[in-house]
Amino acid sequence: MRTSHGRVRRAVSAVATGRPVVVMDDGEAQGYLVFAADAATPELLTFTVRHGSGYVRVALPGAECERLNLPPVCHKDGELTGTAGHRVAVDFRETGTGISAIDRARTIAALAAAESTPADFRRPGHVIPVRSGRRGVLGPLPGAAEAAVDLAVLGTRRPAGVLCELVSQRNPSEMADRDELASFAEQHRLPFVSIAEIATYRRRTEPQVVRSAETTLPTAAGTFRVVGFRDAADGCEHLAMIAGNADADTPMPVYVHIECLSGDVFGSLACRCGAELDGAVAAMREQGTGMVIYLRPPVARACGVLTSATAPDLLSETVAWILRDLGVYTVRLSDDAPELGLLMFGAIREHGLHVEPAASTLSAVG
């Protein structure tokens, strides 16, 4: 359970059973106490306020904010961070002053309840709702709100999570740092996980591409089976061109190509992209087996004209999910693959796929 995957699973299990976890936001260099909103109790609120900043919020998806008529505090609602995500504070109408741990627990549970309506709340109140980004920690600006909702959903609870910053015990005027957060989690026997770890867990357990089309494509190099995929994160479309049978038992020579308008479309001599792609297709035809995975990055790439960079680990996740969808679990990697290929296939191994070293002009990355 010491691995990143195990830490997330432990945190999900805790949230699923109504217990709190400690979540580290490396970007903000601070941590939060997080638990499922529908599990709120006076005891949990007392514990949270005692060790936290007292600024208790309930993270909700945008659709829930709309359903409960929770207007933003400021008008720049298109932003995902800062005060733009915060909604007008509320109290559950059946509470007293709204400030006690009992009252706040009832308000939090009501915000999470599927049967709650806008009329169930007084405005302003003492519990602050905050809107989480649409894709949670996989969105462009992941934070504690997104982590809280994601952990609740992963724990099969209602999509609502409570979060509160943890204050340093050594210096109460500051937030607790990573070491103190780890110590606090160990002292209270709470799972400790980072937002980055939750994001990695989701990318490796939730399909990141969706099959969108399949056809037989006649080309100058021969006729191949082509399968189209749409990226779940940004909607980018990718292709897998296949020769022979793709199955789990036979190692598949794979060439991963990142779209380059200069080389692929206009035949630019200033880069090797077009020539490498043509060579891979020709090798696939000659061998009678193999696969070309053609990736389209979110930002257009054209060597010598437009430059863009996509992290190899994110590319590898896309490739891994395409291979899984096609039933390929063993790929063949050439000994002369460029550095990017080595990085990508090294990361692919972390997704449970096996990489076989073998000299081949087909198995590379362009």
CATH classification of the domain holding 254:
3.40.50.10990
- Same domain? For 195 and 342 the reply is no
Asked if 227 and 174 sit in the same domain, the reply is no
Say if residue 114 is in the same domain as residue 243: no
> Contact at 8 Å (CB) between 197 and 186?
no
| Domain presence at residue 286 | yes
Order of strands, sheet of 192-194, starting from the edge strand that comes earlier in the sequence: 90-92, 121-132, 57-61, 161-165, 30-36, 21-25, 192-194
Average pLDDT per 10 consecutive residues for the chain, totaling 366 residues = 84 98 93 97 95 93 96 66 76 94 97 97 96 91 95 98 94 92 96 96 90 93 94 89 79 87 88 89 89 88 74 74 86 56 61 64 52
The number of distinct structural domains making up the chain is: 2
State how far the Cα of 254 lies from the Cα of 237, in Å rounded to an integer.
Answer: 18
Please say which residue of 205, 239, 258 terminates a domain: 205
Query: Is 164 domain-assigned?
Result: yes
Same-domain check for residues 172 and 28: yes
Whether 297 maps to a domain, the answer reads yes
Specify if 365 maps to a domain.
no
In this prediction the pTM is 0.80
Prior bond of 124 cis (ω within 30°): yes
Residue 366 lies in a domain: no
Spatial CB neighbours of 314, under 8 Å, sequence gap ≥ 6:
none
Q: How far apart are CA 187 and CA 179, in angstroms?
A: 12
Q: Are 11 and 126 in the same domain? A: yes
Beta bridge partners of 194: 24
Q: How far is CA 215 from CA 211, 225, 237, 280, in A?
A: 12, 6, 15, 20
CB 278 within 8 A of CB 255: no
Query: What is the structure's pLDDT at 175?
Result: 93
Show the domain range for 129: 4-205
CA distances from 3 to 181, 193, 201, 233, 238 (A): 18, 10, 11, 25, 31
Which residue from 43, 53, 12, 10 is spatially nearest to 148, judged by alpha carbons? 12
Check if the beta carbon of residue 146 is closer than 8 Å to that of residue 34.
Answer: no
Q: Tell me: do 248 and 342 sit in the same domain.
A: yes
How far apart are the C-alpha atoms of 86 and 80, rounded to whole Å? 9
- State whether 71 and 132 are in the same domain: yes
> Are the C-beta atoms of 195 and 61 separated by less than 8 Å?
no
Domain annotation covers residue 364: no
Residue 59: exposure state from Cβ atoms within 10 A (0-12, 13-18, ≥19) = buried
Cα-based torsion angle of the residue sequence 168, 184, 83, 154 in order, rounded to the nearest 10 degrees: 180
How many other CB atoms are found less than 10 A from the CB of residue 288? 9
* Domain finish residue from 205, 238, 263: 205
- Nearest to 363, CA basis, from 245, 287, 254, 282: 254
Angle at 304 between CA 300 and CA 309, to 5 degrees: 45
Q: Hey, what are 341's tokens?
A: 């290929």
Q: Cβ(57)–Cβ(131) under 8 Å?
A: no
For residues 243 and 281, membership in a common domain is answered with yes
Q: Of the residues 153, 183, 205, which one is the last residue of a structural domain?
A: 205
Same domain? For 55 and 31 the reply is yes
Of the candidates 263, 297, 295, 262, which has an alpha carbon nearest to the alpha carbon of residue 278? 263
Residues 255 and 268 in one domain: yes
Task: Verify that 262 and 287 share a domain, yes or no.
Answer: yes
Please check whether residues 326 and 217 belong to one and the same domain. Answer: yes
Residue 258 in any domain: the answer is yes
Query: Does a structural domain hold residue 362?
Result: no
